[in-house]
Each structure stands twice: as C-alpha cells, then as structure tokens.
Structure 1
C-alpha cells in the first residue's frame, strides 16, 4: 500500500515525567501507555517502519516487546527542556546512518492512546494526495478564543474585537488546536519549515474523545473510562 515509499512512524518517549512518574510505560487498562501507539502504528496500511526514540532502557524493552524498533537518544535530548524538533532530527540522522531514509514521517506521541490506525492512515492519505507541507491532527476548541480576554493595566481587554461578545456561540467561527496525536510531513519539509508548521498545513479534525492527550491524573482517568466503555 505504500507504493514503494518508506513511511516511518516515530514515537518519542523519554523516561522522565514531572506530572506522572514513568508515564510512558504506566499501565492503562492493563497495558503500557506507549503500547497503544505502537500497536496502532503497526496496524497502518502505509507505515512500514515503527521506531521509538528513548534514552530509557525499560521503555526500550517494553517497546521492543510490542514490536517497535529502538533509537537510543542521548541524555541531553531527554531533559525537560530538550527540543522535540532536535529529537526528531537526531532520529532521522541515526536512521540515515543505517541507510534508511523515510520518504514520509509520522510523529505519534505516546500520550495519545485513543488515536487509532484508521485516523493515522487518513492523515497519511491526505498528505500523499494533497499539496501541503504537513498534516496535523486537531480538535475543535471547547471554549472559543473569540470570547477571551487579556489583561491590560489590571483591566480585562478583549483578545479580539469586542463585537464577538455580542455574538452567539454557534455563530462564532470554529477554531481548532493541535491535539498532539498525529503529525505527518517529509524530512525535507520538516527541516525547511523547522518543524511541522509550514505555510500549507492541512488539518485532520479528530473528536474530543480520541484527542485526549495524557498529561495529568485526570487525563489518565478519562482515558481509562473511555477504553473500559469501548470494551
């Protein structure tokens, strides 16, 4: 299904986590969090290589168990302040040294366990058949930024034109935020745009249910509730 293309799924997973200790391998409904991303990537009709980038031996061991290859990243790329773009660049460089150059790369963050193979393939399909720099998964913002304020000299100031405060919610323009689940581009466009955000970004609009990005204990509870309901 790849048409001779090398399509890489890259899953970045470091060992440290301030909010939830050992988050990437914490059990979610009996399975390590990272396993959900690996399993769905392996189900993809397009992806022919799945790689986890990590500095952590336990994460590497768990990831191999679920079928992923491993790139061992240096410690300086696994700190709280490490740039995720540098992690991606490092992975591409290591793969190139092993004579593998992806034509398309798909970034899958392990904190999005409800994102599925069908959504991954839809994003790739869009990227392959439309003129764009990248495809980025998004979800509709639950609270419109058109009703937002900023502070100016201790007083609330509308972030946008105050006319929006006299507009019904359903009449406001829809707005979207990246949900962190899926990013698709090429290594060349990634370097050119210094990331996944170029001039031509096509959204993959996902539901709020599959857009959960686990960062807190509440997110974990929400994901567990949804997964248990599915089962």
Structure 2
C-alpha cells in the first residue's frame, strides 16, 4: 500500500540564522514544530526528517519523527531541497516503503496548520492536481527596478483599479508542498504537471531567514495557535525544576530593622511538590540566591536544591545527568532573564504570568497563577494530569478543606507516541 510521507529537510548549517532549525519559537525547536504539524495531519502516514546533524536528529526523534541521515554532499549551502527529497525517497524505497504522495515541509515556517496540510494532500490523492503549494492571497501592486527606474509587474501604473475590482495574486509561503511521488521523481522539481494553489491565512505564513524574523515569530507565537502542538494544560515531563524567587515567592522580601529578610510562600505549592514526589517525579529548586531561606524551604519540601550557583544552566545539566533524566523530559519554570539559559535547555520551558517579556517569549507554557500564589501547584497539576498519577480535582478539594490559610533504518512511529505529545 502506498503511503503519504512527510519529509522535513533540516541540515545543520545555516548562514542567516545560526543553527536555525534548532532555534525555538514558543519554547519549541523549529524542527520540532514542523514534526508536530506533520504528525497532527490526519492524512500523513509517517514523518521523516532528513538531516546531516546529530543534534537535529535527536530532537526530531524526541518529537516523534523518523530520521534519514543525509550525506555531506547533499547538505551544503548549494544543495537543493529537491536533492534531499529525492535522497529520502531512494532510502525509503530501499527499505520497502512505497511512497504515493510526498508532503514537503520546511522547518523555517513555524506556524504550519495541520488542517491546511491535509487539504493540500487531498488535492493530490483525490485529484485533480499533481503538485500543490501553500500561498497567501495578495492584492499588492508589485514593482521592479531597472536602469530607467521602476515599472509595474502585475499592474498598469496608469490604471489602478480598486481592490474589489481585481483578482488576487498568490505569494508562495515556502511552508509546505504536496506532490505525487512518482511525478516528482520524473520531474525532479516540486512544480510539475497540474499545479494547485492552497491559500492559507497570512498570520501562519511567516518564514524565518533572519534574526529579525525569528524575533517576530517569537512575539506572535502566543497569538498563532494551531492544532499541531499538545495542549499545554497537560505537561508530559519526568522531572520538575523551579526557580525560587518569583516562583515559590512573589519576588518580594520583607526586611526588618536588623537587615533580616523573610519571604512569603504558598502552602498550595507545598502540596503540589508533595504530590509530585508521591508520583515519583523528582523536583529540584535551583537558585542563584545565597539566602538560607531557599535551602530551608527546599528541605521542608524534601526537594533537591542547588543554590548560590552562577551558571544555572550548567547546574541543571549536571543534576539531570546525575539522575539520568533527558533534558527534553524536564519542565522548568522561571520568571526572569537569569532563567533563560535553563528555559532553552528543557523540553518544557514554563513561565509565571508576570515574568520578564523575554521569559514569556521563551516559554512553551505560561501559568495562570503568579509566583508565591500557587504557580508551583499549577505546574504540578499539569504534570500529574499527563501522568494520570492523581485525581487533581479530588486533591484540590482535600487541600481546600484541610489546609490552613497561609538514523535509518526508520524507527517505528508508535515508539514515539508518548514522547511526541510533549
């Protein structure tokens, strides 16, 4: 039986944006976002990432893709996407995989809608098209320059009809394409036979080729939601790491006349940590502070603690390695710029709602409760919800009633089902 296969070329090198395919938008690596979009499409049978890069391959597998290692001669700046696609088809054919329809996704487009990808595939499988590309409608007046000045390309400069009196043109987004696999093999380029255009919303069409475009994508990520990524109300993580000030506290301190400091914490957060421990989820409190209250609170919670650390990311790596926990399986919640290094490392970067703007931009999930006001408990509930380890509503009711007010061969898709939802 011929399959619909999505192929995502993602080489390690990039001139415009260093390590572009691993950069994050909405807390998720770009290659991970592309894999998630393809896996969420109902028409796609398998998802393959073609790469020359070990780190990209690892991230692709974490998100549930199969990996084809691309040779160096097809991975340079001058190598075409078509060459990577043809190589992937050859590798799959050699492994007995019959590809009927090829979907080509580019990781540099972070907001691919799986439903739009499904529409493109159906335009191939149900006819009448041989190749399809995503585009946005435009009524813009396009010009070109030459030695004599500027001249209109898609319009007569002497006659400027109203928008409602014009037919739109279509601007290729570069986000995704769908093709009949046999036709692509014969043509060796992505536009052949009868070519169809699938119009997509402009808000989903941003393509990242510069640092400025990356920052734009990060800024609008909270506003552009698709069905590709898992619901952030459920956080599938194997460990929880928290900052202290601004997470366990409201980021304020009371100072008495002798200079002694005290902070306010939430009993609800304590219950959350207790529930995590009961479910076998390790908890680490990580802080740059030297205040004894950090260690005292962590010991009361019976959580691991690392404090007075200058490099929080290095401390997090060391702790995770010692416990044998992949960074991709850790949820980290922070509030300020000294948390950014940790947020970039983990699979679930989380922010409190009043966090620094850069932290909010780096987060995959933003909590609704503030630091010192149940933020840790909310994170715990989301993690436990994913594990099915506790009836969160029952635990909430009990707390309210009792607490005082204070590479090839291709991997199987099923093996990655749980991990990819994270």
Q: TM-score, normalised by structure 1?
A: 0.90
Instruction: Report if the CA contact (8 A) 1:164-1:172 is conserved.
Output: no
Aligned residues: 225
Whole-Å Cα distance in 2 between the matches of residues 160 and 22 of structure 1?
37
Identify which of 135, 139, 145 aligns with 1:150: 145
How far 1:161 sits from its partner (Å)? 6.1
Q: Which moved more, 1:63-72 or 1:113-122?
A: 113-122
Whole-Å Cα distance in 1 between the matches of residues 107 and 18 of structure 2?
14
How far 1:163 sits from its partner (Å)? 5.3
Instruction: Report if the CA contact (8 A) 2:105-2:176 is conserved.
Output: yes
Matched, 1:135 2:129: no
Identify which of 203, 206, 216 aligns with 2:197: 203
Alignment of 1:1-231 (within 5 A): 4-141=1-138, 143-145=140-142, 148-151=143-146, 153-159=147-153, 162=156, 165-230=159-224
Q: Which moved more, 1:27-36 or 1:192-201?
A: 192-201
Instruction: Report if the CA contact (8 A) 2:2-2:98 is conserved.
Output: no
Q: Which moved more, 1:102-111 or 1:158-167?
A: 158-167
Cα deviation per residue 1:2-50 (whole Å; 9 max; x = unaligned)? xx54110000000011111001011222211111111121112111111
Instruction: Report if the CA contact (8 A) 1:25-1:32 is conserved.
Output: yes
Cα deviation per residue 1:170-229 (whole Å; 9 max; x = unaligned)? 433311121111111122111233312124111110111111111112221222222223
Whole-Å Cα distance in 1 between the matches of residues 154 and 90 of structure 2?
43
Instruction: Report if the CA contact (8 A) 1:38-1:68 is conserved.
Output: yes
Moved over 6 A (4+): none
Cα deviation per residue 1:119-141 (whole Å; 9 max; x = unaligned)? 11111122222211111111123
Whole-Å Cα distance in 1 between the matches of residues 133 and 187 of structure 2?
14
Long gaps (5+) in structure 2: 226-422
Describe the SS at the equivalent of 1:224.
helix
Decide whether aligned partners of structure 1 residues 160 and 51 sit closer, same or farther in structure 2, where only a CA change above 3 A counts.
Answer: closer
Instruction: Report if the CA contact (8 A) 1:12-1:87 is conserved.
Output: yes
Larger RCO: Structure 1 or Structure 2 (Cα < 8 Å, ≥ 6 residues apart)?
1
Instruction: Report if the CA contact (8 A) 1:55-1:75 is conserved.
Output: yes
Q: TM-score, normalised by structure 2?
A: 0.51
Long gaps (5+) in structure 1: none
